């Protein structure tokens, strides 16, 4: 079974600085998707960024980028120029690309990010 691990329960960053959130996963599959979701105090889940395992290029969305290391099974999220609105719980998630796996997301435990003004 696949697992996702986020080893940093809490992180803190100064406004305008850069922070990296760590995520590792375990799978025997070669084709899958990885995600970072943001959950602000409203508890609405917001997709931050997505990476297809077959793509070697790291995904980027504005101030958010990932460092995808497939061999090491690592998927970290870098937030540049941190803003107060980035404060939230961040979840790393895995999804198999195999149809009969149901498309279910497997989540890590989450990292609570605080941004200091």
- From the list 42, 56, 57, 62, which residue makes contact with another protein (rule: CB under 8 A)? 42
Q: Tell me, residue by residue from 75 to 104, as one string, x for binding to another protein by CB under 8 A and - for no binding.
A: ----------------x-----xxx--xxx
Distance from first CA to last CA of the chain, Å, rounded?
41
Three-state DSSP class for 9?
coil
Rule CB under 8 A: say whether 11 interacts with another protein.
Answer: no
The set of residues, in sequence order, having a beta carbon less than 8 Å from that of 111 and lying 6+ positions away, is 6, 8, 9, 10, 11, 21, 22, 89, 90, 91
Residue 18 CB, nearest distance to another protein (Å)?
25
Which residue ranges make up the site for another protein (CB under 8 A)? 4, 6, 9, 42-45, 47, 50, 91, 97-99, 102-110
């Amino acid at each position: 079974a696949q697992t996702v691990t986020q080893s940093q329960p809490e992180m803190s960053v100064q406004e305008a600085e850069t922070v990296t959130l760590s995520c590792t996963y375990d799978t025997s599959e070669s084709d899958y998707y990885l995600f970072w979701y943001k959950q602000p105090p409203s508890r609405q889940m917001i997709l931050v960024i997505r990476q297809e395992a077959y793509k070697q290029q790291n995904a980027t969305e504005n101030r958010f980028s990932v460092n995808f290391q497939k061999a090491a099974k690592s998927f970290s999220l870098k937030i540049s120029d941190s803003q107060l609105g980035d404060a939230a719980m961040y979840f790393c998630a895995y999804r198999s690309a195999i149809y009969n796996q149901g498309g279910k997301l497997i989540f890590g435990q989450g990292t609570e990010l605080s941004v200091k003004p």
